[in-house]
């Protein structure tokens, strides 16, 4: 088993093209086609935020528990391979036993809501020189490394005998 695994891992090493005139010409075309200039991108994005947990274990994507999420992104392209990126996002999550199909959960009567704020930063590395709207290199696998933080502060309510008790 181990012998076959080593052989399968070594096969791609022999498939990598070696330095040749053809490879050198292709490389020079790629270098000429990708400008090595800095640029900045700013964008917004939207989607949905959703809670799935103890207060909603079975009902997936319940419209009563799905909320809008919005974000902003700032990206600085340092060159055709490296970029830095900052993201900010805002969303809301909520859960409510009253929406459950389980009688036991409905009798428990717990609900919560929380706003979520998320901020993150990443560094990205493209394996191929990459530039948007380039006809020669139109994709590039990439790696990224980043760090993020979020803040939430849930508020809960206990519905007991028709009275709502905030906690």
What's residue 92's pLDDT?
A: 94
Cα 86 from chain centroid (whole Å)? 12
Residues ≥6 apart with Cβ < 8 Å to 54? 95
pLDDT in tens, 42-53: 999 999 998 888
Judge contact between 128 and 140, C-beta under 8 A: yes
Average pLDDT over residues 78-84: 90
What's residue 166's pLDDT?
A: 53
Which sequence spans correspond to the domains of the chain?
A: 33-166
Tokens for 164, please give them. 């709502």
Helices (H), the chain: 2-15, 21-33, 103-108
pTM of the model: 0.65
137: DSSP letter? -
What's residue 32's pLDDT?
A: 56
For residue 88, list its beta bridge partners: 72, 119
What's residue 90's pLDDT?
A: 97
What's residue 104's pLDDT?
A: 83
pLDDT in tens, 132-159: 666 777 778 989 999 999 999 999 887 7
What percentage of the chain has pLDDT greater than the value 70?
Answer: 69
């Amino acid at each position: 088993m181990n012998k076959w695994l080593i052989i399968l891992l070594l096969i791609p090493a022999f498939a990598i093209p070696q330095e040749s005139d053809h490879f050198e010409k292709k490389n020079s075309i790629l270098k000429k086609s990708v400008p090595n200039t800095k640029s900045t991108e700013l964008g917004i994005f939207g989607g949905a935020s959703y809670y799935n947990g103890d207060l909603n274990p079975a009902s997936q994507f319940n419209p009563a528990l799905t909320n809008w999420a919005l974000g902003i992104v700032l990206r600085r392209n340092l060159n055709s391979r490296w970029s830095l990126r900052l993201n900010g996002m805002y969303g809301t999550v909520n859960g409510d036993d009253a929406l459950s199909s389980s009688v036991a959960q409905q009798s428990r009567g717990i609900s919560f809501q929380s706003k979520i704020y998320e901020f993150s930063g990443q560094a990205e590395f493209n394996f191929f020189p990459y530039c948007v709207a380039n006809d020669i290199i139109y994709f590039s696998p990439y790696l990224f490394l980043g760090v993020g933080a979020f803040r939430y502060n849930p508020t809960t309510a206990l519905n007991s005998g028709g009275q709502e008790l905030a906690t």
